[in-house]
Copies of this chain bind each other. A is one copy, B any other.
């Protein structure tokens, strides 16, 4: 993760993507699949979602080597209706599995107007926004929901972490403006951000976590004994619960106490659940007219006067599109400790290093 105290070295997206593909291939993942996984991981990096990109490579490789992920999954449709499918991810890495689901959802929505593809026996898939964006190229709106890969959220008022951050991502295309890309956890912050604060020894803002007595927790080093807070109290709890049921329970995937913490357990099948919806704009409205209206919405929101100290109103996804522009031009910055780690990985796998 970026840190002001650590110098950064920048790499092109291609260099990062190729390196990741080499590593996966050397671990036994077929070349095409390795390329798909590397693509979506690099997509996270270019979008500025650093905690879901190459940062995850060592952990993913370790779990592949330990047998926790299936290197050669037979991803397939298990149940199907005209507008729906239940996919078996066969314990493949999520990036691969969700790409399969998204392609299927897009194909179905072309015929039916909308489709809903759920999956079980999937795994962690990285940045949700990358998948919600896939239908855009087909003039569709994308919506993606996942069961998070570790439970740090109790039901509202409770003290047992039975829920995860269960994120939602929705992407809506504009004409001249960037798409609107909402990509959010149902908790105030992600556990990843908490861990970064712990690593750096800096206090968390009040409102991120509470302790077992319900008091605000600001010392991130104590986070194992604390609880994430949902957005809007009982409302965020309700969203996390419903998203978990729709992405998990309905798909026969893990939810609640059955969720496996991928980082704490290298070998157990996580049976992760996700779903993706593709919604064909043309089923409701002329596509160009819709995109022009989205441009109007974006400009209208940005035209709002602002509170003191606020420079301008931002659109959901604005940070990601700014990162894409900056990082495409200047490269993706990686911190030195991560680079050291990646050099070791390359050595162990006997592949050409990143640098």
> Which chain A residues have a beta carbon within 8 Å of chain B's beta carbons?
79, 81-84, 86, 111-116, 118, 141, 154-160, 162, 170, 172, 180, 182, 184-185, 188, 210, 212-214, 231-239, 241-242, 245-246, 249-252, 255-257, 279-281, 283-285, 290, 293-294, 296-297, 300-301, 303-310, 312-314, 316
Contact = CB atoms under 8 A, between A and B. Distances in A.
Given A82-B111, A301-B162, A232 B234 contact: no
Contacts of A316: 234, 237-238, 241-242
A154 to B, nearest CB: 6
Quickly give the copy total for this chain: 2
Contact of A236 (B160, B232, B308): B232
A9 to B, nearest CB: 31
A313 B157 contact: yes
Given A82-B83, A242-B170, A242-B172, A313 B234 contact: no
Nearest to A118: B284
B294 A245 contact: yes
Contact of A231 (B79, B180, B214, B231): B231
Given A213-B307, A301-B241, A316-B242, A86 B157 contact: no
Contact of A306 (B159, B239, B306): B159
A86 B284 contact: yes
SS class, residues of chain A in contact with chain B = mixed
Nearest to A316: B238
Contacts of A309: 214
A191 to B, nearest CB: 16
Contacts of A210: 307
Given A283-B79, A284-B84, A307-B157, A300 B235 contact: no
